[in-house]
Chains A and B, each alone.
Chain A
Amino acid sequence: MSFLSLLVNEPGRSVLMTGNEAVARGAIEAGIGYASSYPGSPTAEILGNLGRLAGDYHFYAEWSVNEKVALEGAAAASFAGLRSICIMKPNGVNVALDSLASISQSGIKAGLVLVVGDDPAGHSSTNEEDSRYLEKLAHMPILEPSTPREAKEMTLAAFELSEKIKLPVALRCVTRVCHASGNVTVGEIAGVNRKPAIGKNERFITVKFLHALQEAKLNQVRRMADAWPFNRYAGPENAKTLVITAGASFMYAREAVKELGLEGEVGILKLGISWPLPEKTLLGRLKTAEKAVFIEEVEPFIEENVMHLAAQHMMDLYPLQFYGQKSGHVAGPSGPGIGEMNPEIVAMALAAVCGVNYSPPPGCDESVKKLVPKVPQRDLAFCAGCPHRASFWAVKSALALDGRDGVVLGDIGCYTMGVGRTGFNLLQTVHAMGSGVGMACGLGKLADYGFNQPVVAMVGDSTFYHAAIPALVNARYNKSSFLLVVLDNETTAMTGHQPHPGMGKNAMGEEVVRMPVESVAEGLGIPVSVHDPYDVEGTTELVFHLLQSEGTKVLVLRRACALIAAKGTKKPRVYVDQELCIGDSCGCNRFCNQTFSCTANIWDVKNNKAVIDEVVCNRCQVCVSLCPRGAIKVEGGEQIG
């Protein structure tokens, strides 16, 4: 398991791997020469692992500044003859799409595999996006593994396919593959011995006449798709009801059919390639079926394409009926095309289609209610000691003091949680990486037209490098007036603490030059201040002060992520002197607990006083400075700050 499983060099041995580890292992077995990514859940761990192994297996790995640059680097390595892998989440595909569409048209040389980790239900995303539409737009074959085991094997096969047809290939995984673990049979790690070079006469140029070639390549894949070894059919021959599925949904479909006892009636066709479709295979099964049921995540991609195919063969398939998201039969609690699949949703859909009775077990809700009437929800919150909580409180305070209804524009990272209670509901917009800064550019130009509210954009350090810099250039160029607050916790925290250009470390653990945010801002000629957000009062005053003047300004609030800071230091104990605590009376009213609401500032119901949950506390000591009565104290250890 974990990192260690990637090192196992006993071909044929079954080890436990996550889907992400399996993809990394597959890439190493395929002999990659280049790997690049920008961290995004659910695929962040792939490059994390590859970075650690790059030295051992002699390939290059980098955390790129954003997905577009990541893809361009990987494409270049392919042009030079190195197998390369580029990893991102769907939002990254949005960012990289311009390059992706062009690279796909110009064609490539060595295998180029784009791993995209879709996140149905948005477990660790702000949005829910089905990247397959974009991959199709970019004329890429789309491969969909169902398990970690397939993820490894398909990674290997993807390189073969890409190299054969000279197109980048998408390996579309979902969270339940990336973050799932399962038995993976490891293979041989091939020694790579390729010397990268670009021949004098080789050209990789995007020109429109290559569109025809691009289509021809896809047609070539279309013909190969029927032989794609990861397509699988299980069930009776000539099944009247045919489930068409791909990815993790296949596992749910299989379990649901079993649960309903329909193994003898329902056939399951699992597509290992969802674009271009394996048309002969599909038509062969559909000809004998009366009902086709589509089970996929998130949107009806396969469903639409198969229905389109079926329309071309209408006479052969009549009177086939289609069931899926379009018909409303396959739908989670929020409706068709929204959220994840699971065994119950599939079972309910199949039961309805096949006319059998099924309802999911009701659970023990009713019985529990008698004893525990309400099980409170657990909202996401900044970790105990998170510098963002202090930063948000300071910005909120400064805006209240300013009194002109300042607008706060949010961005993508841990601090996106600032839309919620943990960030005092401060953020008024959240969109894509860096987009808060671009939007600030716009609002910051409206003063002449009557917009008299100050504008604050809040962005994380990694997001700053990713996408905020062009917006900042724009702001300076076009004289936009706003304050950019960079919440610099010295890491890419949200996705698991990956390094970024401000940290002086790269993906392979090498020491590299630091490019602090303030240097970038200074280089653009923008006034910049740096402050410690743990000094809440000082930060409040500074933000207030910065709001009083015109122009583009940058404030870097720098303090290491509490989870990293808590490691390795001898922690002083933070505790409440309940003699001094005034609890819920005037002058406080449970400020640390009810208002600032650090998760370590809990309430001692018995004494009606505050208390620190010392198991949760990360010893940041911010509450020590905020307590109006000096009732929160520090004992021993190294003082932070």
Chain B
Amino acid sequence: MAEPSVHNIIVTGVGGQGNVLASQIIATAAVNSGYFVSVGETFGASQRGGSVMSHIRISREEAYGPLIPRGKATMIVGFEPLETLRTLIPYGNKETGVIMNLRSNYPLSVLVGEDTYPEIEKIKEAIAANSRFLVALEATELAVAAGVPVGTNMVMTGAFAGAGVLPIPPETYEGVIAGLFGGELLELNLAAFRAGLKAIAADQDLAGQRR
């Protein structure tokens, strides 16, 4: 399949999960590979438990605007199940690919008992029914296992890199990560990134559906 004129990738999650950094790594890897890239994000409320989205638009042809139009996401990288679904509803389409962390983060309305958190299986089903593919992984647990409990974003970045959405080799991402961290921190973050790569490579559903 020919590369689309623009990749519209949304990284979504809850403030504090590090999705700004993930989007910057993906975007930098693309710039370093010669693409025009635009990223739109808001981070005023990023640490306050709100819904946070980064729109990444990657094109060989021209710079796009910072916001992805409704229904035009080619890929959603969701750090949290509810946020993944929330993003898919307006921005996704039947051709959208989804990679999702299974670890829930509960909104205040759920904590106080006004709302209930939807069942994870129902969320998965709803996403699968409205997308091209869904890869769901325990990214937070993988990050903890890699020794970086806050490294969910690196695992998810690895999973994205390994999903083959962009014709950019994992080494390019690793090069970007190497520019961000040093010493032990670099090793830990690379370990988390590779855990994501490995998890996605092992995913049978994706292997079957990848085009």
Q: Do chains A and B touch in the complex (CB under 8 A)?
A: yes
Expressed in whole angstroms, the Cα–Cα distance for A422 and B110 within the complex equals: 13
Q: A251-B64, A367-B130, A383-B47 are in contact. Are A182 and B69 (CB under 8 A)?
A: no
Task: Tell me which of A16, A377, A563 has the highest count of chain B C-beta atoms within 10 A of its own C-beta.
Answer: A16
CA distance A595 to B112 in the complex (A): 7
Tell me which of A161-169, A173-181, A324-332, A444-452 binds B: A173-181
Is A374 among interface residues, defined by CB-CB distance under 8 A?
Answer: yes
Q: Let me know if A182 and B38 touch, CB within 8 A.
A: yes
Judge whether A181 and B93 touch: CB under 8 Å.
Answer: no
List residues of chain B with CB within 8 A of the CB of A599.
49, 105-106, 108, 111
Asked if B66 contacts A251 (CB within 8 A), the reply is: yes
B170 at the interface (CB under 8 A from A): no
Residue of chain B at shortest CB distance from A148: B38
- Is B82 engaged at the interface, CB distance under 8 Å to the other chain? yes
Closest residue on chain A to residue B14 by CB atoms: A378
A374 to B14, CA, bound (A): 18
CB pair A376 B109 closer than 8 Å: yes
Distance in angstroms between the alpha carbons of A149 and B64 in the assembled complex: 12
**Interface: B88 (CB within 8 A):** yes
Specify which chain B residues have a CB less than 8 angstroms from the CB of A613 in the assembled complex. 105-106
Interface positions of B from 57 to 98, Cβ below 8 Å from A = 63-67, 69-72, 82-83, 85-86, 88-93
Interface pair B126/A372, CB less than 8 Å apart: yes
Chain A residues near B48 (CB-CB < 8 A): 380-383, 414, 417
A344 contacts which chain B residues (CB < 8 A)?
69-70
Q: Are B43 and A179 in contact (CB under 8 A)?
A: yes
**Which residues 222-266 in A have Cβ within 8 Å of B in the complex?**
248, 251-252, 254-255, 259
Say how far B156's CB is from chain A's closest CB, in angstroms. Answer: 14
Closest B residue to A566 by beta carbon equals B150
A residues within 8 A CB of B38? 147, 180-182, 251
- For window 330-385 of chain A, which residues contact chain B by CB distance below 8 Å? 342-344, 347, 360-365, 367-368, 370-372, 374-383
In the complex, what distance in Å separates the CA atom of A593 from the CA atom of B129?
34
Q: Is the CB of B92 within 8 A of A364?
A: yes
- Asked if A608 CB lies within 8 Å of chain B CBs, one says no
Task: Say if the beta carbon of B31 comes within 8 Å of chain A.
Answer: yes
Contact (Cβ within 8 A) B44 A123 = yes
Chain B residue contacts of A379, Cβ below 8 A:
49-50, 107-109
Complex: A177 Cα to B179 Cα, angstroms: 25
**Set A255, A361, A380: member contacting B49, Cβ < 8 A:** A380
Interface residues of A in 596-618 (CB under 8 A from B): 597, 599, 601-603, 613, 615-616
Taking a contact as CB atoms under 8 Å apart, the answer to whether B65 and A181 are in contact is no
Tell whether A363 pairs with B89 under 8 Å between CB atoms, given A179-B43, A368-B130: yes
**Smallest CB separation, A22 vs chain B (Å):** 13
Residue-by-residue, is B179-198 near A (CB-CB < 8 Å gives 1, otherwise 0)? 11000000000000000000
Interface size on A, residues (CB 8 A): 72
Could you mark each residue 16-55 of chain A with 1 if its beta carbon is under 8 Å from any beta carbon of chain B, else 0?
A: 1010000000000000000000000110000000000000
Pick from B24, B25, B45, B83: contact of A380, CB below 8 A. B45
- The interface bits of chain A over 577-603 (1 if a CB of B lies within 8 angstroms of the residue's CB, else 0) are 000000000000010011101010111
- B115's partner among A259, A374, A594 (CB-CB below 8 A) is A374
Q: Determine whether the beta carbon of A252 is less than 8 Å from that of B108.
A: no
Q: Any chain B CB within 8 A of the CB of A2?
A: yes
Q: In the complex, A51 Cα to B25 Cα: how many Å?
A: 24
Contact of A383 among B16, B44, B69, B112 (CB under 8 A): B16
B residues near A176, Cβ cutoff 8 Å:
40, 65-67
Name the CB-closest residue of A to B131: A364
In whole angstroms, how far apart are the Cα atoms of A590 and B85 in the complex?
Answer: 28
Smallest Cβ distance from B184 to chain A, in angstroms?
A: 14
Interface residues of A in 413-435 (CB under 8 A from B): 414, 417, 421-422
Contact among A16, A370, A597, A616 for B31, CB-based, below 8 A: A16
Contact B111 A601 (CB under 8 A): yes
- Nearest Cβ distance between residue A34 and chain B, in whole angstroms? 27
B111 touches A371 (CB 8 A): no
In the complex, what residue of chain B is closest to A386 when comparing beta carbons? B48
Q: Which residue of A lies closest to B72 (CB)?
A: A361
Q: Does B211 contact A (CB under 8 A)?
A: no
Report whether B50 and A378 are in contact in the complex, using a CB–CB cutoff of 8 Å: yes
Is B28 positioned at the interface, with any CB of A under 8 Å from its CB? yes
The answer to whether B65 touches A248, judged by C-beta atoms less than 8 angstroms apart, is yes
A123–B43 Cα gap in the complex (Å)?
Answer: 8
A371 partner, pick from B25, B50, B122, beta carbons under 8 A? B122
- A4 and B37 CA atoms in complex are apart in Å by 18
Name 22 A/B residue pairs within 8 A (Cβ), A-sorted: A179-B40, A182-B36, A248-B65, A251-B65, A255-B65, A342-B69, A363-B70, A371-B123, A376-B109, A376-B116, A378-B49, A378-B50, A378-B83, A378-B107, A379-B108, A421-B108, A563-B47, A590-B113, A593-B111, A593-B112, A599-B49, A599-B106
Interface residues of A (CB under 8 A from B): 1-2, 4, 14-16, 18, 41-42, 119, 123-125, 147, 149, 175-177, 179-183, 248, 251-252, 254-255, 259, 342-344, 347, 360-365, 367-368, 370-372, 374-383, 414, 417, 421-422, 494, 563, 590, 593-595, 597, 599, 601-603, 613, 615-616
